[in-house]
Chains A and B, each alone.
Chain A
Amino acid sequence: MNNKNILIVDDSKENRVLLRMMLEDDYQILEAESGAECLALIEEDLPDLVLLDVKMPEMTGYEVCSTLRENSATESLPIIFVSALDSTEERLAGFEAGGDEYVIKPVDGTDLFSKIESCFNRQKVTEEANEQAQNNMRIALEAMTVSSELGQIIEFIKLGQEVNTALDIGQAVLSITKEFSLKASVMIDTDHRYFFGCDSDSMEAMFLAKIKETEERITSIGSRTIVQGDHIVLFIKDMPLEDESLVGRLRDHMASIMDIANSFVVKLNNEILQQQQRKQFLNEVIAIAETQIQQTSEKLAKQQQSSNEISQQMVNNLESMLFSLGLDDDQEETLMNLASDASFKLSNNAIQSDDIKQELNVIIERLKSMESTA
């Protein structure tokens, strides 16, 4: 005997006895003598198949069948009509009501067994097909989910054009982990060590720093998972362990995100390095320029002083020479004016060298300004 339950529904005891005795060696048998009793029994305990008489008082087999088909729990329950009504119209009415098979009274045992087995086989095939369809649906949904998740990662990659600071990177990582419904914190090493999703003096921050000292790329401890790159550590606090397949996907996704985020940090570090080099270069240029200006200024000052002394000496010499030359007053005055004029022009040259010094200092100021904004 197999463990399939068959419910026999017939208002005639003789018919129920006949069907029971035909089937009871092979199936578990239940009986109902009316449509109402049949529905009540089915509500209590769902059989595997119903043998349903058509013509019964109060509620016909067709009505019982239609009622069962309207209920999602019994919409695919195998139902075989057993009836003395053997016209084509009656058979069609049976199928229209939702019956799977139609057996004519008087019932032939062999025919009945064949139709019952046929129903069970069809049901098995249908169940397998449904299961397959559900599997296919699950796979399709999973593919769509993975595709959507990959879409999020692609969007994250696109952020590479926009992230310019460690803050941008940290916020982008926290944002994408949130989209995956994960709580996380991040540590990023650039010119400084930055923390996002936790305070820099918290235990969590210390833990992240400690993890950075290890070489494990992915570490899982219960629902916590740590993924690290060369310059970044991601700490996920609530991996959904109840869904193994999702956890596997999330680990892969987070590893990819860390690779991408790490490349952002590398790019950022290069930019910081270049900036520092530029600053250093400017500082060197400023130092050299300042020294040069200082030296030039000193040379100019010395040169100026020397010129002034020479011109003064020349004027003094000229004055003492004038007495011995025996010139008249006009001639002496003319020569003295020439000497004074030359001396005055030399003094003017000294003023211009101060202007040059001031102009060179403007360049120094510009360089310093560039250095501070670099």
Chain B
Amino acid sequence: MDKHWDKSALLKRVMGKEKLLRVLVESFNEEMPSRVVELRDEVLLCDAMTDNRESEHHQNIQLLAHTIKGVAGNLSGVLLQENANQLEQAAKQKTGNYQPLMENIESSYYILKGLFDEFLNLDNSNDNDDV
């Protein structure tokens, strides 16, 4: 099992529907970048505050991390799912100092995105070969 992308587990969950898999990956590429940026901004703002205990950034971070966790989970992006979960739990407890966890998320996100791009390119070239 690839800790970044467990493709076989995903294929099993989508009942072997390759087309569905491709649509999901494309959808991830469309939606996820803005979420990661949004989350990073919230983390920077929250960590920059001297007293952030009552800040609504915790709640926003928790919600965004939760969404990323869910989407990553759906696509079997195991490490991104795990890292997002860690940030979600930390934000739930309002621990602050989220930057290190955010870096883990971004790192795993970019690796996963690279794997997805590779898959889409491969998939496209297969389509072209078919033509």
Contacts and interface: CB of A to CB of B under 8 A. Distances in A.
Interface string B63-98: 100110111011110000100000000000000000
A17 B25 CA distance: 10
A93 to B, nearest CB: 15
Nearest to A113: B15
B53 interface: no
**What secondary structure prevails in chain B residues at the interface with A?**
helix
A84 B15 CA distance: 20
Interface in A72-101: 83-84
Contact of A15 (B19, B30, B71): B71
Nearest to A17: B27
A14 interface: yes
Given A12-B31, A17-B23, A17-B24, A107 B13 contact: yes
B17 interface: yes
Nearest to B64: A57
A114 B66 CA distance: 26
A21 B10 CA distance: 14
A18 B67 contact: no
B14 interface: yes
Interface string A229-259: 0000000000000000000000000000000
A217 interface: no
Interface string A289-300: 000000000000
Interface residues of A, number: 19
A105 B88 CA distance: 15
B13 A14 contact: no
A13 B14 contact: no
A108 interface: yes
Interface centre among B10, B12, B28, B70, by most chain A C-beta atoms within 10 angstroms, is B70
A21 B20 contact: yes
B20 A15 contact: no
A22 interface: yes
Contacts, number: 65
B26 to A, nearest CB: 9
Interface string A108-134: 111000000000000000000000000
A108 B24 contact: no
Contact of A105 (B12, B28, B30, B73): B73
Interface centre among A14, A22, A109, by most chain B C-beta atoms within 10 angstroms, is A14
Contacts of A109: 13-15
A57 B63 contact: yes
Contacts of A326: none
A14 B24 contact: yes
B20 to A, nearest CB: 4
B15 A14 contact: no
A106 B13 contact: yes
A105 B84 CA distance: 14
A55 interface: yes
Contacts of A107: 13, 74
Interface string A1-40: 0000000000111110110011000000000000000000
Given A14-B74, A18-B20, A106-B74, A84 B66 contact: yes
B24 A105 contact: no
Contacts of A108: 12-13
A110 B10 CA distance: 12
Interface of A: 11-15, 17-18, 21-22, 55, 57, 83-84, 105-110
Given A17-B23, A18-B24, A105-B70, 8 more contacts: A14-B24, A15-B71, A22-B15, A55-B63, A55-B66, A55-B70, A106-B70, A108-B12
30 contacts: A12-B67, A12-B71, A13-B27, A13-B30, A13-B31, A14-B24, A14-B31, A14-B32, A14-B71, A14-B74, A14-B75, A15-B74, A17-B23, A18-B20, A18-B24, A21-B14, A55-B67, A55-B70, A83-B70, A84-B69, A84-B73, A105-B73, A105-B74, A106-B70, A106-B73, A106-B76, A107-B74, A108-B12, A109-B15, A110-B15
Top 9 A-B pairs, shortest CB-CB distance = A106-B73, A21-B20, A84-B70, A109-B15, A106-B74, A14-B71, A14-B27, A108-B13, A17-B27
